[in-house]
Amino acid sequence: MSVIVEKLTKRFSAGATPAVSDVSFQAPPGAITTLLGPSGAGKSTILRAIAGLETPDEGRILIDGVDCTDLPVQKRGVGVVFQSYALFRHMTVRENIAFGLNVRRMSRGDVNARVDEMLKLIQLEELGRRTPSQLSGGQRQRVAFARALAIRPKVLLLDEPFGALDTRVREELREWLQELHELTGVTTLLVTHDQEEALEISQHVVIMSEGRVAQAGKPEDVYDSPVTPFVASFVGGTSILKGHVREGRAEVGSLVVAAPQSAREGEAVRAFVRPHDIKLARSINGNGNGGASTGRVERLKPVGGYVKVLLKLPSGDSVTVEVPRKEFDELGVVEGDSVHADVRAARVFV
Ligand code: ADP
């Protein structure tokens, strides 16, 4: 069951910049596809248009090959989970899960059997008689998944489903979602602004910027081969350094790497450097590629197992370097120190 979005455009008021502009992509059958991008990029609008909750101005939506653009929500065979739990507060967990089945006039026996199956799937068999207020945030969200899956949707649509949960629960539920997906195999579309979540969970990523698709592909492809500076910096916290072409090579500060084939002599280029592709040292012990440069430590930010080091280079460019905690302790630098930054030239993307 694939989802195909074709040339989708949506404006919320006449003459305004479209929230979604000429967006086309395909969510492959049986996979988790993420719509990834900053807030306001148009992700939710696309998801809501697929669900039938927004009417597109232009374009088509095909689910499993069928044009659904003008079908009402309940005829599309989609299950939806939003960030806020949207469970019915006065209903028990069982009643919440049964809701869509009752709307579809399924027999009582079949409803009970399906609810039992769903409770087992979300591993909350014991909690069917509780109301949402008697559940934790993570449990409520699992019930929301069960309610969405109970109707056996062709497609599962998830709009920042873990956004309201604290970090630990969010990470647990990410793994849980992957297991759930392996069990159900349902084609899934997930909206998130969290690049780590997108890269971890999905098999296909559609990166959105200002209402348009910036890049789509496998997580490793968008990570390793970003096609625009936006994608490079949004996915993977990449730093962008200014340089120019000289004698067929790209010179970026003291770094000299291969230039793009189309580049002309003297032309300005930008080099994308990943935060873990730079090694810091107190003294030059370069790797022979001429990539070592001295920088000044502007800011240090410990983040769990590593430290983010913001370096200012002589060119005026700033780079972020991620240094594992142990290496950082051995390095022993403080803000204001000078350090040598050795870039792994083979990993630089110009
Ligand atoms: P994202 O999900 O990427 O954060 P949205 O799809 O929610 O982005 O929003 C895209 C743009 O459309 C934003 O500028 C937002 O303000 C606007 N927008 C979304 N919904 C509405 C609405 N119902 N009325 C007016 N503008 C809206």
Indicate which residue's Cα is closest to atom 11 of ligand 1.
Answer: 19
Q: Please write the tens of the pLDDT for every residue from 125-154.
A: 999 999 999 999 999 999 999 999 999 999
What is the model's pLDDT at position 94?
97
β 278-281/292-303 pair status: unpaired
Ligand 1 touching residue 177 (CB < 6 A): no
Q: How far apart are CA 255 and CA 93, in angstroms?
A: 60
Q: What is d(CA 218, CA 206) in angstroms, rounded to the nearest whole number?
A: 9
Q: How far apart are CA 334 and CA 53, in angstroms?
A: 52
Q: What are phi and psi of 222, to 5 degrees?
A: -70, -30
Q: 19 CB under 6 A from ligand 1?
A: yes
Question: If pLDDT is split at 50, 70 and 90, which confidence band does 291 have?
Answer: low
The yes/no answer to whether this complex scores an ipTM above 0.95 is yes
Encoded tokens for 186: 């349902």
What's the CA gap between 183 and 84, in Å, rounded? 25
CA of 156 to the centre of ligand 1 (A): 21
Confidence (pTM): 0.85
Pocket test for ligand 1, best of 23, 36, 44 (most atoms within 8 A of CB): 44
Longest CA span, the chain: 77
Q: Residue 44: CB within 6 Å of ligand 1?
A: yes
By most ligand atoms within 8 Å of CB, the mutation choice from 36, 45, 159 for ligand 1 is 45
Distance (Å) from CA 44 to ligand 1 centroid: 7
Q: Which residues contact 70 (CB under 8 A, 6 or more apart)?
A: none
**Tokens for 320?**
């972020």
| CA separation for the pair 271, 240 (Å, rounded) | 6
Euclidean distance between CA atoms 140 and 85, whole angstroms = 7
Q: What are the φ and ψ backbone dihedral angles of 35, each rounded to 5 degrees?
A: -100, 110
CATH of 3-231, one of 3.40.50.300, 2.170.8.10, 3.40.50.970, 3.40.50.720: 3.40.50.300
How many whole angstroms from 45 Cα to the centroid of ligand 1? 6
Estimate to the nearest angstrom the gap between the alpha carbon of 300 and the chain centroid: 26
Instruction: Determine which residue's CA is closest to atom 5 belonging to ligand 1.
Output: 42
Q: What is the per-residue burial (b if ≥16 Cβ within 10 Å, else e) of 252-270?
A: bbbbbbebeeebeeeeebe
Q: Which residues are within 8 A (CB) of 262 and not within 5 positions of it... i.e. 6 or more apart?
A: none
41 CB within 6 A, ligand 1? yes
- Of 2.70.98.90, 1.10.10.10, 3.40.50.300, 2.40.50.140, the CATH number of 237-347 is 2.40.50.140
Q: What percent of the chain has pLDDT over 90?
A: 69
**Residue 110 alpha carbon to ligand 1 centre in Å:** 39
Nearest CA to ligand 1 atom 22: 12
Residue 208 CA: nearest ligand 1 atom is 3
> How confident is the model at residue 298, as a pLDDT?
94
CA angle 2, 154, 5 (to 5 degrees): 35
Task: Read off the pLDDT of residues 206-216 as tens digits, 9 standing for 90 and up.
Answer: 999 999 999 99
Same fold, 3-231 and 237-347: no
What pLDDT score does 348 carry?
86
The residues spanned by each domain of the chain are: 3-231, 237-347
pLDDT in tens, 208-253: 999 999 999 999 999 888 888 889 888 877 888 899 999 989 998 8
Say how far residue 173 (Cα) sits from the centre of its chain: 15
Q: Where are the alpha helices (DSSP H) in the chain?
A: 43-51, 93-103, 108-121, 137-150, 167-184, 195-201, 219-224, 229-234, 325-331
Mean pLDDT, all residues of the chain? 91
- Is 42's C-beta closer than 6 angstroms to any atom of ligand 1? yes
Q: Are 219 and 231 in contact (CB under 8 A)?
A: no
Nearest CA to ligand 1 atom 25: 12
Centre of ligand 1 to C-alpha 191, Å, is 13
167-184 vs 108-121: helix crossing angle, rounded to 10? 120
Q: Is 275 helix (H, G, I), strand (E, B) or coil?
A: coil
Q: Which residues contact 66 (CB under 8 A, 6 or more apart)?
A: none
- Residue of minimum CA distance from atom 17 in ligand 1: 19
DSSP label of 125: G
Tell which one of 10, 11, 12, 84 to mutate to probe ligand 1, the residue whose CB is within 8 A of the most ligand atoms.
Answer: 12
Q: Which atom of ligand 1 is closest in space to residue 13's alpha carbon?
A: 25
In this structure, the residue with its CA closest to atom 12 of ligand 1 is 19
Question: In the structure encoding, which two tokens stand for residue 179, read together?
Answer: 């297991």
Bridge partners of residue 9, in order along the sequence = 58
Res. 288: pLDDT tops 70: no
Residue 17: what residue type? T
Distance from the first to the final alpha carbon of the chain: 38
Phi, psi of 50 (to 5 degrees): -65, -40
Are 146 and 122 contacting, i.e. CB atoms less than 8 angstroms apart?
yes
